[in-house]
Amino acid sequence: MLNVTNKDGIVNVQVSGLINEDIHLNKLSLNGAKGVVFDFANVDAINSIGVKMWIGYLGEIPQNVPTKYVNCPRVFVDQMNMVMGFKPKHIAVDSFFVPYYCDECSKVQPTLYNNGKEFDTSGKINHPQKVECPKCKVPMQMDVMEAKYFMFLKRK
């Protein structure tokens, strides 16, 4: 599902639920738009038909409109790494989640990495010094393979 708002010419699109054959990708009105921000914080899952539909949908957005992805969850990062065109070159990733795991209670905590803080556009990564389990107060471990998970940042 898409929830579209417009604030001062920036079109904000909150995507939630499943990106699959049932998603309704309503056409954005971009007349006079200064930018588009896609927020994926509430995306639960993506299937291969959804991937194709999403790539088709991006094709309708003029490349000269600055476009960003924010709050990309793990399911979204996985697709950016696997599928060329899911994050086209002209689209910037401003923030994404990295899952951290607690050995004590097995909790997985998605931790937000922000452009200019935990990573930069050159692909440099600055992991947070410590991610603490909110329950056990012990340091958590990154729950992904670094070489794979951060690949999309290095792809030019």
Cβ-based nearer residue to Zn ion, 104 or 146: 104
Nearer to Zn ion by Cβ, of 11 and 133: the residue is 133
* The one-letter amino acid at 150: F
**Residue 113 CB, nearest approach to Zn ion (Å):** 21
Which residues would be at the binding site for Zn ion (CB under 5 A)?
102, 104-105, 107, 133, 135-136
Q: Give the nearest distance from C-beta 65 to Zn ion in angstroms.
A: 43
In whole angstroms, the minimum distance from the beta carbon of 109 to Zn ion comes to 8
Strands 67-70 and 91-93: parallel
Beta carbon nearer to Zn ion, 49 or 105: 105
Q: Tokens for 30?
A: 């971009």
The angle subtended at Cα 39 by Cα 33 and Cα 41, nearest 5°, is 170
51 φ, ψ (degrees, to nearest 5): -60, -45
Task: Give 60 or 104: the residue with its C-beta nearer to Zn ion.
Answer: 104
Closest to 6 measured CA to CA, from 34, 25, 27? 34
Q: How far is the CB of 74 from Zn ion (least distance, A)?
A: 18
Q: How far is the CB of 118 from Zn ion (least distance, A)?
A: 21
Owner of token pair 């995507």:
15
95, 126, 139, 133: CA torsion to nearest 10: -10
Q: Which is nearer to Zn ion, 17 or 134 (CB)?
A: 134
Sign of CA dihedral 109, 110, 114, 117: positive
